[in-house]
A and B are shown apart, each in its own frame.
Chain A
Amino acid sequence: MSAILETEALSKTFGAVTAAADIRLAFEREAVVSLIGANGAGKTTFLNMVTGYLRPDAGRIRFDGQDLVGRSPREITALGLSRSFQIPQLFQSLSVRENLLVAEGIAHAERVEQATDALLEKFDLASYAGRPAGLLPEGIRKLLDVAMALVAKPKLLLLDEPTSGVAADEKFGVMDLVMAAVRGQGVTVLFVEHDMEIVSRYAGRVVAFYDGRVIADGAPAQVLDAAEVRRYVIGEAHAAA
């Protein structure tokens, strides 16, 4: 099966800091892949280059046969690539329902009201439907952020730290809802994550970043056990614990 997303020799620097150095990755359709790495390793820069927020200094990004470099986030979304954010990007003064209605309207969804009701149910958000997004607890904000990204029925969904800021006893619940929503939809999922429990449980493949480079790529058990990953990503003491 051909890759849905491929990057070739992708590079990006910010002054003296190398955020991406010769990144060559390919992601199979319908895979669930986790991107891991310490802060500043280049995970979010990778996401930002793929979604058009940052332009790479060099290299190519191909998504479903289309070149993405130079395209705006709006054009990339239209091609079938959506994302959620580390800090949920919501419409704070609008209610949860209105947030989804905006997303449905932009996606030209048919029967917008019914589609919104279905999404509220799917993400367990119905009881928050009338509440302004600015007054939601973090776990619900994360879910709404992902639900809005899914409205466009993307082929590839990028999730930037979907459980950061979420209470420990809620993080699996959040991920279960997200994974249930994308299951059977033919969606490829790439998620950036710091929580190795989440990574082990939900990812079929793990890509580890360090200093703008890919230092390991493969099955979760294999990557999480690699010496460089234990040293630079997990931390030896934490890994031993």
Chain B
Amino acid sequence: MNVIEFLLALALAKGLVVLGLLLLMRTGLVSFGQGLYFGLGAYSAALLAHRAGIGDAALMILAGPACAAAVAAVLGLLLARYREIFFAMLSLAFSMILYGLLVKSAALGSTDGFNLHAKTFAGIALPAGVERRVFFAVSVVVVVLVGWALHRYLASHWGRLSAAIRDNELRVEYLGASVYRVVYVNYVIAAALAGLGGAFAALAVGHVDPETTYWTTSGEFVFIAILGGTGNVLAPFLSAALFEALRTVANQYAPNVWQMALGVAMLAIIMFLPGGLWTLMRRKTA
């Protein structure tokens, strides 16, 4: 797997997390804690191989969203009651709790984390040297399917209802719908997407560590979401690819100032393209 394939694999994995954020943002919510589910997805996939001895990549990929959705189904009962800064900070708090647990857990490699290795995919043995290329190809297929499914979801009644909740919760309740139920369902979907992204990221990197759940990782997802905008399901993936490319180049040529460059880019986006880079695509096609 060459560098570009690796960067694209990471961009697709992070794009999945941001796709979940897009859904939350369309509902009027910003989560600063998606690292919780990204990390859970990565660790559950890795633990399946590392501890349970199940080295099948397909099962590892399924374990990520399943574990994330299960945890979100419980935490969502509480979080779906909160909005705005309270939702953002509470989601951040939960991700930092997991970070704290992982850092203190020697059995899970503490701050160093641990490596993982998948030997098969859906029962088929993977020849040495091509595993990551296979994971990348699978991630492309999964991203297309998930992106299409979310596009359909956003165009459906529930998608419109999510936008309606962002605009006016009071009216939604007076029309007879449960705002809580829609927020809860969207929260669980966003978590499952983050878990899926975490599993793909773990397979692409071959290593997991607590950094996946740290607040800077969650902040990075929000950054990518704002950079791309919420106008289309393609925006998170294009934005994630751009972000990874920028970071790689900037790290190489300006290792001490690249965060500053990102900050300036964010300021420019907020001031001149508040709908994100996707608005440029829309203008071009308009």
Contacts and interface: CB of A to CB of B under 8 A. Distances in A.
Given A91-B164, A92-B167, A93-B163, A102 B175 contact: yes
Interface residues of A, number: 27
B164 A89 contact: no
Contacts, number: 66
A148 B175 contact: yes
B144 interface: no
B176 A106 contact: yes
A190 interface: no
A149 B164 CA distance: 15
A73 B163 contact: no
B265 interface: no
Contacts of B178: 74
A195 to B, nearest CB: 24
A22 interface: no
Question: Most chain-B Cβ atoms within 10 A of its Cβ — which of A74, A78, A98, A149?
Answer: A74
A149 B168 CA distance: 14
B282 interface: no
A148 B167 CA distance: 15
A51 B174 CA distance: 9
B174 A105 contact: no
B160 interface: yes
A51 B170 CA distance: 12
Question: Most chain-A Cβ atoms within 10 A of its Cβ — which of B161, B168, B175?
Answer: B175
B175 A101 contact: no
Contacts of A103: 175
A149 B176 CA distance: 10
A90 B174 contact: no
B171 interface: yes
A105 B157 contact: yes
B173 interface: yes
Contacts of A92: 167-168
B158 to A, nearest CB: 8
B174 A73 contact: yes
Given A89-B168, A91-B168, A92-B168, A106 B163 contact: no
Contacts of B174: 51, 73-74, 77, 82-83, 89, 149
B73 interface: no
A156 interface: no
Contacts of A148: 171, 175
A135 interface: no
Interface string A50-80: 0100000000000000000000111001100
A101 B161 CA distance: 9
Contact of B175 (A93, A94, A112, A152): A152
Interface in A88-124: 89-94, 98-99, 101-103, 105-107, 112
Closest 8 pairs (CB-CB, A-B): A105-B157, A77-B176, A89-B171, A91-B167, A106-B177, A91-B164, A102-B164, A106-B175
Interface of A: 51, 72-74, 77-78, 82-83, 89-94, 98-99, 101-103, 105-107, 112, 148-149, 151-152
Given A82-B174, A89-B174, 10 more contacts: A77-B175, A91-B167, A91-B171, A92-B168, A93-B167, A94-B163, A98-B163, A107-B176, A112-B157, A148-B175
20 contacts: A51-B174, A72-B173, A74-B173, A74-B177, A77-B175, A78-B176, A83-B174, A91-B163, A93-B163, A94-B163, A94-B167, A101-B157, A102-B175, A103-B175, A105-B157, A106-B172, A106-B175, A106-B176, A112-B157, A152-B176
